[in-house]
Chains A and B, each alone.
Chain A
Amino acid sequence: MSQLKNPSRRTFLKSGAAVGGGLVIGVSLPGMFNNAFAAADSSAINAWVRIGSDNSITILCARSEMGQGVVMALPTLVAEELEVDLNKVKVEFAPPGEVYINSMLGGQLTGGSTSVRDAWEKLRIAGAQARMMLVAAAAQEWGVDTAKCTARNGMVSGPKGKMAKYGQLAEAASKLPVPKDVVLKDPSKFRYVGKPLKRMDTAGKITGKTEFGIDVKLPGMLYASLAQCPVIGGKVVSFDAAKAKGMPGVKHVVQITDGVAVVADSWWQAKQARDAIDVKWDEGPNKALNSESVSAGLATAMSQPGAQIKQQGNVAEAMKTAAKTVQATYEMPFLSHSPLEPMNFTADVRKDSALLIGSIQFQQLAMGMASAITGLKPEQITIKTTFLGGGFGRRIDCDYMAQAVEISKTVGAPVKLVWTREDDMTHDFYRPISLTQMSGGLDASGKPVALSFKMSSPSVTARLFPPLVKDGVDPLMTEAILVPYDIPNQSVATVIHDTGLRVGYMRSVSHALNVFANESFIDEMAAAAGKDPYEYRLALLDKQPRFKNVLQLAAEKAGWGKPLPSGRARGIGLMEGYDTYMAQVAEVSVVDGAVKVHRVVVAVDLGRMVNPNIVEQQLESNIVFGLTALLYGDITLKDGRVQQSNFHEYKLLRMPECPKIEMHIVKSTEKPGGIGEPGMALLSPTVANAVFALTGKRLRKMPFRLA
């Protein structure tokens, strides 16, 4: 058992390939996908649409809802073409199934701000096909040509006033062939797409009715709390559970791969008994890890050649002849995802079946894990995804699910495992730490002629999807690594360095690391040139109209160059991520020796939108998330242990610190870009640049400390 988890993860995550710029994580799990919807009743028109004889309309959502609004946005795309009243639609989360694979990622996975980009055509086509089948069923019944029938508001109407509700047609429609030639609506005809509609999951979330993973209850369910080694990766040597076993409500104390679990009638009982167990740990290879040695390791790794991401012109030569040179080193710490719902999971493993329910971001990984641990076939395993109380990338990993499955299998009962906040903070897959060295050369007029970028950082992909790391390049470590600016000589390189602490994808992934360095450094070059940082950037963007446009928009709306009250200053930043172009201007002051952000102006061009209301939510969310990171985010290590345990030591932004956020969205007919992530990446350089403008001090290390 103890060997199970990692090897199994390796074996079922097979090939992967980067295809046409989009990253494809090829996950092969033979046999797991047997037309997930075939088992459903005859109300299933296709994998996305179910229509009951009572005219109830259910749209399946194949991405996990963790706040970003997919539960609204994706059904909107289906409903637009299906011609139904979106307000009356019910939404259910989809089971694992081949048809639900995210083709930008190659797995049934929510991440990479890909949900809308992947679904944009696919779900409209699915909606249109279902509609066409309903129309065909009506035409057949009436013996008329389909061209004489139209669909609207859940109803097909035909010649001579003939009408039929979708519910009357569903069964016949489900037996018809799937139409191949689908003509999608012209965007000018959209009723729902592009409109700032209110989310349909709001009602449940303001009444306490929404079911998150932690709220799941099964008949006969027991509750579990798990003692894990304080050093991640450590193993149980022995334990004394005599006292715990005698405590009220305690049903079982069992050892699993990751530690010792107490299973009891209530969670509080389980947790108290867990605290009464004395476990001896073999702390494993990481027991001596500390922050100082990790940083030293990153610095040493810098001396390796690494992988060359870009080589243009001759940087060394250009630096020699440059009128001025600039050097800077930027540092980012480990971060914890800390979604507000701590990790938890419910599993009911039986001899010939298993049920898994909870907050899942990567259904396929969950399926592969469950199959490997239980020895059951995928068709014997049911996976249900609830609402997620935040994810931010943490719930892509399935360590906590595997633990629940192991516990349930061992005790032979349905079990809900709930981590404490302390468990969650000390057993995360942390956002990679990074060190970036930059240098640049300016000509006599101040124009940049050379730029060199070199980063060392651990690779998440090397852990989760090793085949995707080729020739030392992790494509998820190099996002936004190339500047949009016209600089003739450039050298960009990365060094993958495993520090020992496990790392995971976190909102905006490597955009955050690379944009911090790049956008701080271009500001440093502007300062060295004695130029205004906005004008300096603008002059280098002649070949980049979308970048240029958002930069100008942000500057204009923020009143760039206009006087501010004394003690305040502005900074500016610019990026592209997930096909979304964004500029920000932050207005800051220093209060009691700490950075205070008063106002953030965001200009964004994300192409076509499904729902501007949700886009604005995500922009706000990203500013708050980014501000938390730059003011506070810092996971440190001592004796192999993560030193932060709860929100007093790992602070998250609170209401009084929240700045005014102003958003300006460019009207665009470009293909949709992702919006769940880019904003947080850009805030740190934008604020650092503002602090420089105010104080003359460069903040090159996050979190920002002025003293």
Chain B
Amino acid sequence: MITFTVNGKQASADVPGDTPLLWVLRDTLGMTGTKFGCGAQLCGACTVHLDGQPVRSCGTPVSAAAGKKVTTIEGVAASAAGKKVQAAWAALDVPQCGYCQSGQIMSATALLTAKPKPTDADIDSAMAGNICRCGTYPRIRAAIHKAAGSKEA
């Protein structure tokens, strides 16, 4: 039995420790906001925060989360940065199909937590791991600036 917290609540999973955190979240805990896109840490759709750091949950064994704090899209609004990011995303109507957006928002929230006023270069490097097949990149960039309150928005 592996225990950790998800969005502030105690959670446990009776699965082998090498099971990816992604599938524990989605299938064991029924939290489907975190998405499966590639299973190979290439697309970022599965991004969650582990003790505040963005990680690809498809490549994170659940054993690595034992005793730690996991934050997912379902709980990201609990942080000030997460709230601002979601508000900016709504204001600029970022999503198209929406499938990558949980991961985008988790990466953007981690960026703004670490760097409240990111430059375009900061955005490029923080967001490069998140693929959007629908091409919402221009709006993601604008929304991050908007969430940061900088004038590029």
Contact = CB atoms under 8 A, between A and B. Distances in A.
A1 interface: no
A205 B128 contact: no
Contacts of A653: 135, 137
Interface string A237-274: 00000000000100000000000000000111000000
A302 to B, nearest CB: 33
Contacts of B54: none
Contact of B137 (A209, A387, A647, A658): A658
A266 B95 contact: no
Contacts of A68: 96
A383 interface: no
Contacts of B132: 340, 624
Contacts of A69: 96
B32 A390 contact: no
Interface in B23-63: 23, 26-28, 30-40, 42-43, 45
Interface in B108-153: 123-125, 127-141
Contact of B123 (A67, A205, A223, A655): A655
Contacts of B40: 421, 646-648
Contact of B133 (A266, A339, A613): A339
Contacts of A646: 38-40, 42
Interface of B is mostly: loop
A204 interface: yes
A396 B9 CA distance: 41
Contacts of B74: 207-208
B130 A655 contact: yes
Given A202-B89, A206-B90, A208-B72, A341 B37 contact: yes
Nearest to A652: B131
A209 B95 CA distance: 13
A388 B97 contact: yes
B94 interface: yes
Contacts of B35: 212, 214, 340-341, 389
A66 interface: yes
A420 B39 contact: yes
Contacts of B98: 67, 201, 204-206, 210, 212, 387, 389
B93 A67 contact: no
Contact of A208 (B73, B97, B137): B73
B138 A205 contact: no
Specify which of A208, A418, A624 lies most central, judged by the most chain B CB atoms within 10 Å of its CB.
A208
Interface in B56-88: 72-74, 77, 86
Interface string A637-658: 0000000001110001111101
A202 B32 contact: no
Interface in A52-85: 65-69
A389 B95 CA distance: 11
Contacts of B30: 217
A299 interface: no
A201 B95 contact: yes
Given A340-B45, A340-B132, A389-B35, A620 B19 contact: no
B27 to A, nearest CB: 5
Contacts of A661: 138
Interface residues of B, number: 58
A698 interface: no
B100 interface: yes
A16 B60 CA distance: 51
A146 interface: no
A389 to B, nearest CB: 3
Given A202-B93, A390-B97, A340 B86 contact: no
A353 interface: no
Contact of B38 (A267, A387, A421, A655): A421
Nearest to A338: B133
B20 A208 contact: no
Contacts of A140: none
Contact of B136 (A418, A621, A654): A621
Contacts of B138: 620, 658, 660-661
B81 to A, nearest CB: 14
A344 to B, nearest CB: 9
B37 A199 contact: no
A268 B20 contact: yes
A206 B86 contact: yes
Contacts of B15: 266, 268
B93 A613 contact: yes
A617 B96 contact: yes
Contact of A207 (B19, B39, B86, B139): B86
Given A341-B35, A656-B124, A205 B135 contact: no
Contacts of B19: 268
B134 A205 contact: no
A215 interface: yes
Contacts of A338: 133
Interface in A615-648: 617, 620-625, 646-648
A198 interface: yes
A67 B97 contact: yes
A591 to B, nearest CB: 14
A418 B45 CA distance: 16
Interface of B: 15-16, 19-20, 23, 26-28, 30-40, 42-43, 45, 72-74, 77, 86, 89-90, 93-102, 105, 123-125, 127-141
30 contacts: A67-B97, A67-B98, A199-B93, A201-B98, A202-B94, A204-B98, A205-B95, A205-B98, A206-B89, A206-B105, A208-B73, A267-B27, A340-B132, A341-B37, A341-B97, A342-B37, A418-B36, A421-B38, A613-B93, A617-B96, A621-B136, A622-B135, A623-B135, A624-B132, A646-B39, A646-B42, A652-B131, A655-B124, A655-B127, A658-B138
Given A390-B134, A620-B135, 12 more contacts: A207-B73, A211-B32, A266-B15, A266-B23, A268-B23, A340-B99, A340-B133, A421-B40, A613-B93, A646-B42, A647-B131, A655-B127
Closest 10 CB pairs of A and B: A208-B33, A624-B135, A389-B99, A205-B98, A67-B97, A67-B96, A208-B73, A215-B32, A658-B137, A656-B124
